Structure 1
């Protein structure tokens, strides 16, 4: 099947992809047949029970047959028969399944037990049609005076959060907001952030949680894509709102919440603090109660690959995410969670805050993450669970060791993004008993947890009963990211140790298997793949490259689109980033592929954040040579003076990749890998007549030998004569073209044939820039006119 057909195989079914999300959003709850919904909800339990019954039946039959043989033929004959069966099975090559089953049974049984308890609890809440606010109210009644939020020098108990959220609900109800309306929230981490969105959801209002780093067009996009009717913002974001006021004033009512200082008294803003001070603390009287499947919040994707998309999180989805990590990671209601993450994202705002809202745990929040304060604050607040995400662990590891590193009460850390390359070093230095690394996308249904502390693993797929939790890894085209299909038009599952894209089967109205997608329906359709393992089925396409070992342990490799091909080999950017980070003492580094015209694939380029200028390029070159194969070593290095990150501590690379290594377009220093290593003189880089880099044309920069990184400059070189080769030239600067050509001729006549690499040639149209007095000017690569 060709790629075009493969990419459009779902086209006729895309109108059905968001059926579940659309049903949830509708205000008429009677639109879905109750019997059908009940059947869908209980499907995972029924599948599990059916498989257990089949396995039990097989076991009973085998025992019965053994008893018959033993009674009529004797126990010796039974032993002989068993031995013959075992030998035959081994001879047929089936022994490995038993070995894997034996090794993974404790893990799978433990996880299965927790998963069953999770489904029982979720089903109970579904049957009672409980919302998140209903479950939280139960915790308020159970222990109203228990501390639930610690923030700086503030302590909030459950009763205080309940009263504050009731005030919020009453204010917006009195202003005419109702179930299904949308009110966005732009506020820094603080207890009121939780109380504001919780209060709005009590009257059925949907709350987009806006990334606090967004400004101008991206901020307008986040507000408008969610169809927000109002916006609550902290007074420290007043400037950002004024910058976009003209673009949103006709559509959005603005409520200013003062966290410090005084209300701005701007006529275009409403004073939310004043409104709350006058509101009642009793629960709002709702004429139309919110339901279990209603939309709760919109959480935006991190925006590493463009403008953020608003992912739909319903009450049922939020509850399931928090409950799943609670049971599978082994949390307790008595735990205290350290949460230095942004609360507008799933990790902090759902997984950790959900432990407080649903299970009555205590959380410690702070405005911004601090690597140096992480373990000292864990000790200060007597936290038992630490939360991390993205590059946090690398930042913490880069901090100088101190006594508080191990003076904490943590029994576990959990999160996603702990690189395998620093995993062991991190837990040994900070004395961490257990790591529960998880994997999951905000909008996705393919979510897993490392339940047995396997180093580097993000979770597992059961090799014994894989159908209990229908997730899989399928083969994809490494260039396009499209699924590869067999002759029947179905996806092909990957074998052990074979990388592929992670998917999760979609089952509508099931919180563990539903895909609610984004507010933007077109964006949602792109995340659904059809005809996966049988005609008509659908799955969520994560876009992440995962590999499973023979025991079913899963390991993150890369994102589709981040893997590039060079010298006939696929290069994983995440793996190269991890290696480089270790080599350069945990500095921020982004790796991406850039095109060199005339060459197949993309060459590696690393952008390294080094504002203090402490990076040693010689050490970098030596380290990459030792740690990476020749095709994975970055050819170009860009030194960043400022860093662009998402709110979840992921490095953005789109703009960097677009700028490439063109030194005429970027102000940062750029270096390239030179294999000669014969001189430390700074090396200029020739430019094409079209102001693009000459490097794009040549087969240059070999990776063996004594490599060194050299600085690249825009060089002014006069148009040269026809020359069939790429030249390496030592010579003093001159403005006379004839003398320069003479130097070139002299060099080429003396050069060994193997030193001249044939390549596609480009025109150079610049004059030579003067060198420092008394020094030679070395042209590592000069491109001549064809």
Structure 2
């Protein structure tokens, strides 16, 4: 096995080396260990209380940095409290939802903190959504207030009036109304139990329109203890740079919890730019950053330059770091520790690489099972009606155990949550949550992520539901029928979208027009990169078999069928050319 291969198992030597590396920070880990083992849901401990305690203890310490400008804990807390007073005037109470439609900024973060300090729920909207998809998300939230960033005007203007709440504020409105408001901590913050819901993160789930997964304060505290306290282990003098949108769980649940676990600083990037990434890291004096796998590939694809090593980053935390780039990324950029983890917005557990082993998503002390699955991606029952676990080194479907100590927050819709629960798996009455992901059992409670099952594929760090893309395609006047699936593109993470379509009678294919329609209908990451025009698609019970066949053929074996590729908003879909997959991998072609 080469040094770049995925290790089938984790050896005892890996763990010993990891323990030795952890030793200097043992006191910090001991402090956070109880929070992973026991988190009473009625404990008066929340994101807001932890944040304001830091503001009281060290008000002059840097809390948030944006564009090189620093705001201290004390300054941030006073602004948060004024924002909270405005929300209270709008009738926001515990359990209400405040919808936030914003691109990355310090203001975006402070609005979220103001919301959760009131015991309300921050609905973190995906600003890539448009039209009916964003309307659906707004209806799911049932928000009392919507606050939107002027940089998200296009998304906001696509929301019909019927989906808007009574109170709609811009950032400027909020700042104007906050002038002169009380700067004292809201009294309710100290009374809130950890079981209070904190924010909703939108996920594509496995099928259909986006779902809002629930993140309670208690579950966020598990991230603070397990990822932040035991694995990331920031120092108070550290700065965690966040290039991902704040509606992403890696930003709020992982990065913010790691920062508040140490009373450190969070630096927010307005948006990710591979060419300017290290410049922004240096400007914001970051010593750590969060990632998704594709981000790391984009950085490696950049020409080497002095800033690759003139930064102060010593550790990174995220998910999706592929084994084939692990060592290269660490060595080129001088990263001391890669804290890879595995988790999902709706899951009740997380694996984290606390022992600094190479090419692993880490370990988890909570109950889970890796089981055999059938051709449809569902847990496979044996002749006794039970599931079968794979052995060490084997690959299978990951299930997380559900019990009183490790409950499932799930989605806002209980029916959608129930669809993901596997009951009577190993014994009568047990319950497990189906992650929908294939993982490899590496031993010592460690796993490596392998792939995603079902109708959802992952691209650019987002789960893409094929049914959503198919609905967008079928809404085009030229498309009679469509089927969508994910295909691998060498040199990229996840799977790119590919569609097979039939053309309506009397219509002809217009690549520019189809692209324009889809850009209006879909988030950019959900745009299919490949479109194959076929003569017919079965609409019978054998349709799924045809879909499997099309997926296996991908873009390399279209036969005589015309094949088109996405060349951007202006050119739309153009005829496939041989170097297109290489262009996608090198970020020279649209990635959606």
TM-score, length-scaled by structure 2: 0.75
1:276 aligns with 2:182: no
Matched residue, 1:504: 400
Unaligned segments of structure 2, at least 5 residues? 1-8, 458-484, 503-511, 539-545, 564-592
Query: Could you tell me how far 1:278 is from its partner in structure 2?
Result: 3.4
Match of 1:427, SS state, is helix
Matched residue, 1:480: 376
Q: Kindly indicate whether the alpha-carbon contact (under 8 Å) linking 1:203 and 1:286 is maintained by their aligned counterparts in 2.
A: yes
Give the number of the structure whose alpha-carbon radius of gyration is greater: 1
Q: Which protein has greater RCO, CA pairs closer than 8 Å, 6+ apart?
A: 2
Distance in 2 between residues matched to 1:138 and 1:182, nearest whole Å = 24
Matched residue, 1:561: 454
Of residues 290, 301, 314, the one that matches 1:398 is 301
Distance in 1 between residues matched to 2:559 and 2:67, nearest whole Å = 46
Q: Kindly indicate whether the alpha-carbon contact (under 8 Å) linking 1:340 and 1:365 is maintained by their aligned counterparts in 2.
A: yes
Query: Could you tell me how far 1:502 is from its partner in structure 2?
Result: 0.9
Matched residue, 1:549: 442
The 3 A distance-change label for structure 1 pair 644 and 494 is farther
1:339 aligns with 2:242: yes
Distance in 1 between residues matched to 2:278 and 2:208, nearest whole Å = 34
The 3 A distance-change label for structure 1 pair 100 and 160 is closer
Match of 2:114, SS state, is helix
Q: Kindly indicate whether the alpha-carbon contact (under 8 Å) linking 2:130 and 2:521 is maintained by their aligned counterparts in 1.
A: no
1:428 aligns with 2:331: yes
1:253 aligns with 2:167: yes
Q: Could you say which structure has the higher strand fraction?
A: 2
Q: Kindly indicate whether the alpha-carbon contact (under 8 Å) linking 2:400 and 2:434 is maintained by their aligned counterparts in 1.
A: yes
Match of 1:338, SS state, is strand
Matched residue, 1:31: none
Q: Kindly indicate whether the alpha-carbon contact (under 8 Å) linking 1:139 and 1:359 is maintained by their aligned counterparts in 2.
A: no
Match of 2:356, SS state, is coil
Matched residue, 2:69: 154
Q: Which has the higher mean CA deviation after the structures are superposed, 298-307 or 206-215?
A: 298-307
Deviations 1:322-353 (A, max 9, x none): 32111332422322111111111110122112
The 3 A distance-change label for structure 1 pair 121 and 153 is same
Distance in 1 between residues matched to 2:291 and 2:562, nearest whole Å = 42
The count of aligned residue pairs is 501
Distance in 2 between residues matched to 1:244 and 1:157, nearest whole Å = 35
Query: Could you tell me how far 1:562 is from its partner in structure 2?
Result: 6.4
1:418 aligns with 2:318: no
Q: Kindly indicate whether the alpha-carbon contact (under 8 Å) linking 1:299 and 1:346 is maintained by their aligned counterparts in 2.
A: yes
Matched residue, 2:122: 207
Q: Kindly indicate whether the alpha-carbon contact (under 8 Å) linking 1:299 and 1:313 is maintained by their aligned counterparts in 2.
A: yes
Of residues 367, 382, 386, the one that matches 1:490 is 386
TM-score, length-scaled by structure 1: 0.57
Of residues 648, 662, 672, the one that matches 2:533 is 662
Deviations 1:244-271 (A, max 9, x none): 233224x44211223xxxxxxxxxxxx3
Q: Kindly indicate whether the alpha-carbon contact (under 8 Å) linking 1:104 and 1:551 is maintained by their aligned counterparts in 2.
A: no
Deviations 1:64-91 (A, max 9, x none): xxxxxxxxxxxxxxxxxxxxxxxxxxxx
Matched residue, 2:146: 231
The 3 A distance-change label for structure 1 pair 100 and 325 is closer
1:527 aligns with 2:398: no
Distance in 1 between residues matched to 2:75 and 2:109, nearest whole Å = 12
Matched residue, 1:14: none
The 3 A distance-change label for structure 1 pair 229 and 551 is closer
1:577 aligns with 2:462: no
Superposed counterparts of 1:580-659, under 5 Å: 580-581=490-491, 590=496, 651-652=525-526
Superposed counterparts of 1:103-118, under 5 Å: 103=13, 106=16, 118=32
Q: Kindly indicate whether the alpha-carbon contact (under 8 Å) linking 1:476 and 1:484 is maintained by their aligned counterparts in 2.
A: yes
The 3 A distance-change label for structure 1 pair 592 and 218 is closer
Aligned-pair Cα RMSD in Å: 4.0
Q: Kindly indicate whether the alpha-carbon contact (under 8 Å) linking 1:304 and 1:646 is maintained by their aligned counterparts in 2.
A: no
Distance in 1 between residues matched to 2:537 and 2:83, nearest whole Å = 63
The 3 A distance-change label for structure 1 pair 189 and 302 is farther
Matched residue, 2:277: 374
Query: Could you tell me how far 1:139 is from its partner in structure 2?
Result: 0.5
Distance in 2 between residues matched to 1:281 and 1:534, nearest whole Å = 54
Q: Kindly indicate whether the alpha-carbon contact (under 8 Å) linking 1:170 and 1:280 is maintained by their aligned counterparts in 2.
A: yes
